[in-house]
């Protein structure tokens, strides 16, 4: 079956320099059903044989922040998996592992497709492999957007096979070549049984001393709302003398795990989406002491800017792990343009600022906390209004408009992409930094020959550029 493109979550492009906007950029996740062979020269040697097995039922490319991470979802028995592992052992990747899970796997691609209720979405293993250049590019993103774990920083892009032992796979009958790392995440391997249901387990430490601390653990159910999400506590735990905690029989749903202790900054350890299948998952993590930050924001005229939203993002520990807050790290400048907080974790962070009509060119400002002498300047931003002329025809489906810096996308330069979804066939990009941009459009999904002729504009600060694209 031919490849298809799906719209993923909204996000700020890795190349964009404007933060905290109501972004119109979208992640495009590409994938398809079946096992028609795929060829990609960016894969490491040996990947094609593993990816293109007859057992593959679907594939997709992510993550939704630039791509380059390829997933092959497969269904088969122990014999078929053993053959795959023989090829996996030869894969030219320094970091590779097999991860065992209880239960039956569910295909991400088939589950999110059309009429998933009519499909068999079960799978027995997933093979994940990176394009090296994409992995290197994503490594440069802020911690909250970076899908690459710090543990793989020195070994290069990792590859992994996740095996689900509750379906067609009898693990005892699988042949594992010598030298392959096997990570057993099944319940029995950690002293639990199927009767314990979904088990969450972890250890809380002081990030500075590495010693265990007394902490509270809270499991919250995440419920989507019209304007965001609501959170409700469904389970609690207390660490023991060794900093250990356990939660059994976790209810089905989308959750987040929060840890907190007196004298430390609370932290979201992670998220999980579970069904009613028993499983085990670890959430080890540490807490940091609070640190102070303070600074001042002015316009390019030197005058203070009040009511600027200051977001402390990319908060990381000394090891490079993301330190996420349950409430976020967002401040507001006062009438003198000043901001201050004494509840930012000690470590590293990036400061992004937002005020309607203004922008701060370049990427966010990296800092090491504590820091109390931060100085930032914002300039007047522009606005781009794009109207697409369909020649009197009714638009069929979604239509994508893309704004790129002249000369091409580059880290540190603004880029925006969005779908026209209103009756006026129009889309607006606000708070755009002054610069020269190329604007074009195409159906979504669509082919290259359906793309409009590009229009180049010279956007000025404080001005609005109105553009009309003619659809083909």
Alpha carbon distance 378, 337 (integer Å): 11
pLDDT at residue 424 in the model: 87
Rg of the chain on CA atoms, in Å = 24
Instruction: Tell which residue, 457, 350, 321, has the closest CA to residue 412.
Output: 350
Q: How confident is the model at residue 38 (pLDDT cuts 50, 70, 90)?
A: very high
Instruction: Tell which residue, 148, 280, 254, 110, has the closest CA to residue 202.
Output: 280
pLDDT digits (tens, 9 = 90+) for 302-312: 999 999 999 99
pLDDT digits (tens, 9 = 90+) for 371-405: 999 999 999 999 999 999 998 888 878 899 999 99
Place of tokens 């791509």: 67
Query: pTM value?
Result: 0.76
pLDDT at residue 448 in the model: 85
Domains of the chain: 34-185 (no CATH), 194-287 (2.60.40.10), 290-380 (2.60.40.1120), 382-470 (2.60.40.10)
* Tally of CB atoms within 10 A around 102: 20
Instruction: Tell which residue, 30, 151, 170, 34, has the closest CA to residue 94.
Output: 151
pLDDT at residue 143 in the model: 59
Cβ partners under 8 Å of residue 196, min gap 6: 187, 248, 249, 278
Judged against a pLDDT cut of 80, whether residue 4 lies above it is answered with no
SS3 (DSSP) at 137? helix
Judged against a pLDDT cut of 50, whether residue 298 lies above it is answered with yes
Judged against a pLDDT cut of 80, whether residue 93 lies above it is answered with yes
Q: Average pLDDT of 269-289?
A: 93
Q: Average pLDDT of 318-344?
A: 91
């Amino acid at each position: 079956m031919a490849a298809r493109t799906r719209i993923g979550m909204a996000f700020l492009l890795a190349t964009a320099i404007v933060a905290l906007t109501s972004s119109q950029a979208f992640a495009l996740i590409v994938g398809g059903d079946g096992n028609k062979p795929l060829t990609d020269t960016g894969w490491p040697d040996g990947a094609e044989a593993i990816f293109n097995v007859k057992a593959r039922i679907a594939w997709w490319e992510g993550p939704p922040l630039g791509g380059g991470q390829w997933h092959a979802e497969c269904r088969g028995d122990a014999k078929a998996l053993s053959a795959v592992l023989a090829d996996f052992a030869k894969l030219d990747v320094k970091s590779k592992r097999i991860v065992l899970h209880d239960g039956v796997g569910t295909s991400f691609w088939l589950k999110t497709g059309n009429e998933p209720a009519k499909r068999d979405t079960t799978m027995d293993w997933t093979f994940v492999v990176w394009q090296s250049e994409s992995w290197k590019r994503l490594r440069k993103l802020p911690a909250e957007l970076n899908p690459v774990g710090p543990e793989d920083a020195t070994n290069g892009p990792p590859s992994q096979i996740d095996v689900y032992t509750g379906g067609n796979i009898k693990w005892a009958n699988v042949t594992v070549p010598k030298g392959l790392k096997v990570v057993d995440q099944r319940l029995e391997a950690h002293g639990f049984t199927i009767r314990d249901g979904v088990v969450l387990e972890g250890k809380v430490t002081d990030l500075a001393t590495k010693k265990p601390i007394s902490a509270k653990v809270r499991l919250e159910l995440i419920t989507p709302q019209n304007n965001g999400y609501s959170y409700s506590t469904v389970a609690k735990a207390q660490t023991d003398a060794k900093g250990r905690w356990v939660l059994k029989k976790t209810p089905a749903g989308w959750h987040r795990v929060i840890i907190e202790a007196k004298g430390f900054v609370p932290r979201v350890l992670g998220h999980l989406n579970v069904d009613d299948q028993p499983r085990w998952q670890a959430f080890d993590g540490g807490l940091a002491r609070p640190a102070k930050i303070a600074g001042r924001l002015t316009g390019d005229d030197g005058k203070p800017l009040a009511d600027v939203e200051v977001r402390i993002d990319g908060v990381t520990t000394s090891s490079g792990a993301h330190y996420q807050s349950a409430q976020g790290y967002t401040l507001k400048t006062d009438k003198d343009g000043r901001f201050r907080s004494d509840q930012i974790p000690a470590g590293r962070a990036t400061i992004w600022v937002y005020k309607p009509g203004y922008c701060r060119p370049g990427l966010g400002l990296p800092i090491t906390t504590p820091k109390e002498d931060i100085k930032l300047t914002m300039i007047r931003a522009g606005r781009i209004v794009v109207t697409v002329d369909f020649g009197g025809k009714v638009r069929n489906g979604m239509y994508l408009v893309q704004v790129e810096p002249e000369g091409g996308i580059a880290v540190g330069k603004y880029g925006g992409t969005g779908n026209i979804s209103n009756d006026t066939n129009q889309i607006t990009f606000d708070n755009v930094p002054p610069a020269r941009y190329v604007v074009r459009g195409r159906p979504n999904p669509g082919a290259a020959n359906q793309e409009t002729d590009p229009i180049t504009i010279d956007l000025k600060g404080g001005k609005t550029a109105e553009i009309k694209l003619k659809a083909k």
